Amino acid sequence: MNIMNNNLSVKSITEPARETKVCYEADVVVVGGGPGGVGAAICAARSGADTVLIERYGHLGGMATGGLVNIIPNLSDIYGEQHIAGIVQEIIDRMDARGAASYPQKPEWGTFERKVVDRYLNARMGNFFVRDNMKLDKEVVLYSALIDPEVLKDELNDMMKEAGVKLYLHSWSTQPVMEGNQVKGVIFESKSGRQAVLGKVVIDSTGDGDLLIPSGAEVITEMKRPSRIANLAFCFWITNVDNEKEDEFKAAQPEKYDELMKELTDKRGFARHFRGLLKDQENVIWFHPHIPAEDQTDVEEMTRIDIDTRKRALITYEFLKNYVPGYEKSYIMQTAPQLGTTGGKRVVGDYVLTEKDMNREEPFEDTVAVFAGNDRDELSHRYPKMYIPYRSLVPKNIEGLLVACRAFSSEDSVNTHFNLIPHCLCFGQAAGTAAAKALDSGVSVRDVDIKALQKDLRNQGVILPSS
């Protein structure tokens, strides 16, 4: 092994060349089994492609399961019109059939009925379920859903099996296999050693865009701070909480309650949480603390934040248990097995979505998803829909690669609103279907027939503008 030390501050080694076993040759290789990867793998396989999915953990779902982030928001706009359906709706329906989903019923979408609004405000889920409708000058309820992450892990395994996706769990992809600017597969490490899967199309659904820089794709790293996407996160759940008792205490002694919350914050604990609305889980509360991060893929920063935030989770729990009525019998039910990431680098695609695209009235010709734009106050009233072009999933100057995750081609101002679970599932649905379609027609993913792709997506229940 050669050790080089040309620059005193940066020491590097040269690894010996080695042969790597090819363990599978697929049509489509999806890397990362979070919302983007799940959508991509299921839809590629259902569309006829021999599909492999490589996931570093032992479960699927990414942040939606292992990250303990289980709110699927913004499926409708403030007027109650549903924009996101397709595989997202299918997953909600399947979870519902297992008693593992909770959401406002259709007549409640867009309603300002006080009882319904208060259900979500009392659960402290305001931002995800309740928005101002400025025209009505009233708070209205959105169509958003909650899902049980443990049931979702199993349901996603079932969906993969039904679709015929070959899974490699506990497998960490380290680099793409390249031939010039063409991606030909990926190399991954696992307890079985270092292996390669070859594929005609590779889909990067790692969230962080792990394949981008090694494949030579251009990336955007800009995040204007403070920005929602410039954070790491450590989520945890506390259970056995008597919410009624806490509410009674707060109502009887509001100043004392506020004082305690301030003291908790001063001690570096987390005062803000959501209350569980899943069936039989009303006594569970969810903490989603965002921790500002300079670089969400820097292992030293990840280590520091994991250790420090775990300490803060315990400070929170011990303080609540000792001082706040309602928490006497509580305990930490679980901490997220994976550190949360709100965003990060994005690919430079054939089209980069910018702030002005959020104010578009007309769809793109290659629109493959439509999202409700609920986050921008009065601008959301004027522009309730965001159109996503297929080109924002296609890396510029690279062949055989699609991006279906929060690393889609976008400025941070766009990414911050549209990189959530339902959005990434939609990117996956579009990318997986496109990959299979391109292979079927013998063209590159860049040249896929857009009208035919849109037709397929509509047939899968995706809501797209009429052509």
Ligand X SMILES: Cc1cc2nc3c(=O)[nH]c(=O)nc-3n(C[C@H](O)[C@H](O)[C@H](O)COP(=O)(O)OP(=O)(O)OC[C@H]3O[C@@H](n4cnc5c(N)ncnc54)[C@H](O)[C@@H]3O)c2cc1C
Instruction: List the one residue out of 295, 42, 10, 21 whose CA is nearest residue 161.
Output: 42
Closest CB to ligand X among residues 57, 364: 57
Interacting residue with ligand X among 35, 199, 276, 384 (CB under 6 A): 35
Interacting residue with ligand X among 108, 139, 210, 411 (CB under 6 A): 210
Binding to ligand X (CB under 6 A): which residues in 53-82?
Answer: 54-57, 62-64, 67, 69, 71-73
State the minimum distance, in angstroms, from the CB of residue 21 to ligand X: 18
DSSP structure string for 125-155: -HHHHEEEETTTTEEEE---EEE-HHHHHHH
Query: d(Cα 233, Cα 160) in Å, to the nearest integer?
Result: 28
Sorted by sequence, the CB contacts under 8 Å of residue 302 that are 6+ apart come out as 232, 296, 339
Helix (H, G, I), strand (E, B) or coil at 407: coil
Does 173 participate in binding ligand X (rule CB under 6 A)? yes
Contact mark string toward ligand X, 357..376, x via CB under 6 A: --------------------
Contact mark string toward ligand X, 94..133, x via CB under 6 A: ----------------------------------------
Closest CB to ligand X among residues 170, 245: 170
Interacting residue with ligand X among 200, 273, 290, 391 (CB under 6 A): 290
Please say whether the beta carbons of 462 and 86 come within 8 A.
yes
Interacting residue with ligand X among 176, 269, 326, 340 (CB under 6 A): 340
> Biggest alpha carbon distance in the chain?
71
Interacting residue with ligand X among 131, 200, 273, 288 (CB under 6 A): 288
Closest CB to ligand X among residues 156, 439: 156
Closest CB to ligand X among residues 147, 450: 147
Instruction: List the one residue out of 183, 157, 317, 154 whose CA is nearest residue 241.
Output: 317
Helix (H, G, I), strand (E, B) or coil at 405: coil
Give me the residue whose beta carbon is nearest to ligand X: 34
Query: d(Cα 275, Cα 67) in Å, to the nearest integer?
Result: 17
State the minimum distance, in angstroms, from the CB of residue 465 to ligand X: 23
Does 341 participate in binding ligand X (rule CB under 6 A)? yes
Please say whether the beta carbons of 31 and 214 come within 8 A.
no
Query: d(Cα 359, Cα 425) in Å, to the nearest integer?
Result: 23
For ligand X, the binding residues (CB under 6 A) are: 31-37, 54-57, 62-64, 67, 69, 71-73, 172-173, 205-208, 210, 233, 235, 288, 290, 340-342, 405-406, 419-422, 424
